[in-house]
Structure 1
Amino acid sequence: MDRIQSFFKNPIFILSKKNPFMLSRWSILYVLLGLFAGVFSAVFWKVLEFLTKLLAGFQGHYIILIMTLSGLGIGLLIYFLGEPGEISLVIDNIRFRGGKLDPKNNPSMSLSSLLSISSGGSAGPEAPLVQITGSFGSWFAEKIGLEGEELRSMTIAGMAAGFTSLFGSPLGGALFALEILQHRHVVEYYEALLPAFLSSCSAYFVFLFMTDMGIGPTWEFPQYVPGGIEDFQYAIGFGMAGAAVGWIFYGIFKITKFSFSKMALPIFVKTTIGGLLLGCIAYYEPLTRYFGHDQLNEIVVTKGNWIFFGTLALLKILAINITVSSGWRGGIIIPLFFVGAVAGRFFMDFFPSENESFLLICLMASVNASVTKTPISTTILLTGLTGVSNFTPVLFASLSGYFLSPKAPFISSQADSV
């Protein structure tokens, strides 16, 4: 208590307390947290870009070699630096440990995820950023003596800042950080909503300033032209198709998770096996390599029939689940968007549409909502990432994918929430 009292005696906080506006000392704390998270996220992204360009030079059979060696390196990092945890552990800590995330896992998570993502694993940087920046919030809160819901809100604000930095959507990032912690289909920690928005906005500003990313859409989709009531009918149908893909994803996950869990081997052996398998898949189909951030634009213009896109979707689903199950580190949101876009191209051969981008976006939303159980924030995120002007029909697809998804969740700590 003495620490927090002395902290708030700072002239900045005294001034904020006496100002006639809604700005408060708490607002300043959340903005400061977002600024710090934005700096870290930008540095992480710059390092990731450098490593990716370095390792992308290996082509042909060398892909198998470099991904196998990367798997060994990932496993050794985890073996010597400690288990970095995963999103299920983060959710458990938020819900059952008062929001405390341990920063001691950050070195292992940072290094293993950088190698995992840059070498071509089918997982993205969103999960590492969420966990690391969330632990910043937790550490910051403890240092100034916060407890209870105030500490939890600071941790969630840190998570939202990391997520927003990558996706460029303060609204979507804040909602995702809350929705993924869901309890019985609602945002449980609503008191953290404004803190999450504040930290997200400041993190996004810093991230844009330090990187060369613009504020336009990430993926260059043809603009969706809204129609009539039939758009909602199509959206529900596409949502059902996305849910079917989600069931396939979950089935393959159960197989890969069971297979690797039964291996009584050190972590570095499992990650090496995972790297070998991922390398073989990437050698056969290069579009399965990496987490899909750049590859998704290629899907929009790639020529192919339903056999090609159906095979690509299955191989990408397999690659994502091998990445996760073998111990490689990273997040699955952008990879799931990639799977949804590929599935959209698959269904185009059977259900031709004048609004092809609408079909793709609906499948992207429903597949991700089916697996991550985040239908609301998924819709908001896709609005910014694809530049869609009318997202209401997409919400129908997202909700359809969510409610028709497997009750047993991919993220195990959501099991009592659905």
Structure 2
Amino acid sequence: MSNSHISPQKSFFARFSETFPLNLSGTWLSYFVLIGIIAGLGSVLFQFLCNVGTHYLLDFLAGYRPPAPAGEPELFHPTATPFNRWVLLFLPALGGLVSGWLVYTFAPEAEGHGTDAAIDAYHNKGGAIRGRVPIIKTIASAITLTSGGSGGREGPIAQIGAGFGSFLAYKLNLSERERRIMLAAGVGAGVGSIFRAPLAGALFAAEVLYRDPEFEADVLIPTGIASVVAYCVFCLIFGWGAVFSSPDFQFLSPWELGPYTVLAFVLIGGGFLYVKSFYGVHNLFEKIHIPKHFKPAIGGLITGIIGFFLPETLSFGYGVIQQGLFNELGIMLLLGVAFGKILTTSFTISSGGSGGVFGPSVVIGGALGGAVGKIFAVLIPGLVPPGAMVVVGMAGFFTAVSNTPISTIIFVSEMTNSYHLLLPSLLVCLLCYHFSQGFTIYKEQVKNRAASPAHAGEFFVNILESYRVQDLSDQIRKVETVPESMNFCDFKRFFCETNQQYFPVVDKNGALSGIFSNTDFRSVLFSPEIEDLVVVKDIATRDMISTNLAEDLHTVMNKFTRKNLDSLPVVDAKDPKILLGMLRRREVITFYNQKVDELNLNKIQNAA
């Protein structure tokens, strides 16, 4: 069923006001601020753990010092350990072993990328997340990523924020709907703070829930408040400014859209490969019958083998993007990072390791964009700076794999402080979104609000309000009318020849003037002495309950139940004396059941 037929009866602001009444707005505001503070502190803690882990594992043990983005200076001075590829080969396996033991011993639901777990909790678990999950996810992700595993920071930080939002709602004994909203606020706050993109974080939490271009409007204001607070908390500790330093790229000519269009289709192909690789590896590890604790270690070992030859594909990889923005890397290295990162991320996370998928997507997309940009720099010098293609590639690639075009455009703009590339970013992201509908990295996304269990009751209750009598025009039955002047004896003969239960009455001009049912003339039927004196006009009621083609079916059902009627006359909306036919209650109920079945079928298909 098309989503356009189904829409909540009340506006977003009406629903929001019901959930967060004005007289309690200060209380609700304090909840969102508190979520923002905790999510911001969680981001600070996770960022610190990542710095500590990178210093003592990658730097001290392996001598590997991956470049960092300009907005994230190192907290520790580099060690004097010489670079050792052999240590780097086995280090991700060690990290996978430790993180696997942690996750599968204490919180198995913390495996993989945490954003999907938050989406699942929103749709299917009433916004509930176990309190221990964010703690285990934080520690396991920090170990996985700083030992060389390929992943991003948004997964664990999304679960930290979501977990606290869920915990707070539970302690306050809030409803499921309110708990879902607070969970989403935590997701947006965590992601917006650690990537220093508060607006994008708020939009992302509302957009990532669905595959269709649809926002969860109820969470936008709470998420925006929490995201701003979390961003401020994080930046007070780690400094203000964007994650990446970027030249002041400009969009100067419509001819530039040619290379950007080519880039869009390269990103679509790369996104398809990424998703298929990610879940292909996942399915492969599902078939390996060994204790799950050891699977991340195997994935880490394969990751280490790839990193042995191409260290840039390990850990976060943001430094590669920083160098790509200033056109400091060659084509072959950029392509190697892009395809190598697809493999290392797949083996790190799909084997059961802990980490996010947004960070690797940004690196893969930026590397592909930089490679395409450098090719065009050779073919058509001066048309598009390769660094600009890096920015747009970051946005387009994640859009292709996540179905989040709007928030991703803002994400990349805030992360790179590049707002002059919104036009080519919009083109590329919309192309990527349009041609990538068949796959997504977030398997827990549902198609739209109608397919979400979180809105099942809302849509089932209001479904009849979304349809009108004209939608059942083929079910409106033509009936025989009877004239007001017909005497009862003649009507008895007419009654014996018809199976009608309701009899519309018309005046001498054919205008509808009343109606009666087969139960209304019983008193006359059993009083034969008055049959010749009674005419149909005496039996009919002039106080008719009728409907018209423009009336919604919810109102029609109320009319049926008000006086326990089985059929209603359908009249012309402009002239209620013109009878169009009769609509039975049975047809309306059948229509309702059909629409409910369609919703359930859509839900099953989306789950599959």
TM-score, structure 1 length as denominator?
A: 0.89
SS at match of 1:317: helix
Kept after mapping to 1: 8 A contact 2:321/2:366: yes
Q: Which residue of 2 aligns with 1:159?
A: 187
SS at match of 2:375: coil
Question: Cα–Cα, structure 1 residues 312 and 275, in superposed 2: closer, same or farther, change >3 Å?
Answer: same
Question: Cα–Cα, structure 1 residues 124 and 213, in superposed 2: closer, same or farther, change >3 Å?
Answer: farther
Which among 203, 223, 226 is matched to residue 175 of structure 1? 203
User: Are 1:401 and 2:432 an aligned pair?
Assistant: yes
What does 1:332-351 correspond to in 2, within 5 Å? Answer: 332-351=357-376
Relative to total residues, which structure has the larger helix share, 1 or 2? 1
Kept after mapping to 2: 8 A contact 1:241/1:363: no
Which among 109, 120, 124 is matched to residue 96 of structure 1? 124
Q: Which residue of 1 aligns with 2:47?
A: 45
CA offsets 1:91-118 (integer angstroms, 9 cap, x no match): 1220122222222322321221110111
Kept after mapping to 2: 8 A contact 1:103/1:132: no
Q: Which residue of 2 aligns with 1:203?
A: 230
Q: Which residue of 2 aligns with 1:6?
A: none
Runs of at least 5 residues in structure 1 that lack an aligned partner in the other structure: 1-15
Which among 214, 233, 255 is matched to residue 240 of structure 2? 214
Which among 399, 409, 412 is matched to residue 382 of structure 1? 412
CA distance in 1, matches of 2:235, 2:147: 25
Moved over 6 A (4+): none
CA distance in 2, matches of 1:181, 1:333: 15
Kept after mapping to 2: 8 A contact 1:84/1:108: no
Q: Which residue of 2 aligns with 1:355?
A: 385
Q: Which residue of 1 aligns with 2:57?
A: 55
User: Are 1:81 and 2:109 an aligned pair?
Assistant: no
Relative to total residues, which structure has the larger strand share, 1 or 2? 2
Q: Which moved more, 1:152-161 or 1:101-110?
A: 101-110
Instruction: Read off the aligned partner of 1:396 and give its amino acid letter.
Output: L
CA offsets 1:286-334 (integer angstroms, 9 cap, x no match): 1011122333213345755433332332111111111121111111112
Larger RCO, structure (CA 8 Å, separation 6 or more): 1
Which among 339, 344, 348 is matched to residue 323 of structure 1? 348
CA offsets 1:355-411 (integer angstroms, 9 cap, x no match): 222211121111111111111111001111111122132121111111111513222
CA offsets 1:135-182 (integer angstroms, 9 cap, x no match): 101111121121132221111111111111111111100111111112
Kept after mapping to 1: 8 A contact 2:325/2:391: no
Which among 212, 231, 239 is matched to residue 264 of structure 2? 239
User: Are 1:261 and 2:286 an aligned pair?
Assistant: yes
Q: Which residue of 2 aligns with 1:5?
A: none
Kept after mapping to 2: 8 A contact 1:247/1:406: no
CA offsets 1:221-274 (integer angstroms, 9 cap, x no match): 222112133344443332222111112212322431222111111122211111
Q: Which moved more, 1:298-307 or 1:66-75?
A: 298-307
1:190 Cα deviation from its structure 2 partner: 0.4
Question: Cα–Cα, structure 1 residues 47 and 278, in superposed 2: closer, same or farther, change >3 Å?
Answer: same
Q: Which moved more, 1:301-310 or 1:217-226?
A: 301-310
CA distance in 2, matches of 1:226, 1:183: 30
Runs of at least 5 residues in structure 2 that lack an aligned partner in the other structure: 1-21, 63-83, 378-382, 449-605
CA distance in 1, matches of 2:324, 2:337: 10
SS at match of 1:84: helix
1:17 Cα deviation from its structure 2 partner: 4.8
Instruction: Read off the aligned partner of 2:153 and give its amino acid letter.
Output: P
What does 1:289-308 correspond to in 2, within 5 Å? Answer: 289-301=314-326, 305-308=330-333
1:349 Cα deviation from its structure 2 partner: 4.0
SS at match of 1:326: coil
CA offsets 1:192-230 (integer angstroms, 9 cap, x no match): 1010000001111111112x2322x22222221121333
Instruction: Read off the aligned partner of 1:388 and give its amino acid letter.
Output: S
Instruction: Read off the aligned partner of 1:204 and give its amino acid letter.
Output: Y
SS at match of 1:290: coil
CA RMSD of aligned residues (A): 2.0
User: Are 1:190 and 2:217 an aligned pair?
Assistant: yes
CA distance in 1, matches of 2:211, 2:330: 41
Instruction: Read off the aligned partner of 1:412 and give its amino acid letter.
Output: K
Kept after mapping to 1: 8 A contact 2:373/2:387: no
Q: Which residue of 1 aligns with 2:403?
A: 373
User: How many residues matched?
Assistant: 396
Q: Which moved more, 1:75-84 or 1:154-163?
A: 75-84
CA offsets 1:2-28 (integer angstroms, 9 cap, x no match): xxxxxxxxxxxxxx959xxxx632122
1:47 Cα deviation from its structure 2 partner: 1.8
TM-score, structure 2 length as denominator?
A: 0.62
Which structure has the larger Rg? Answer: 2
CA distance in 1, matches of 2:206, 2:314: 30
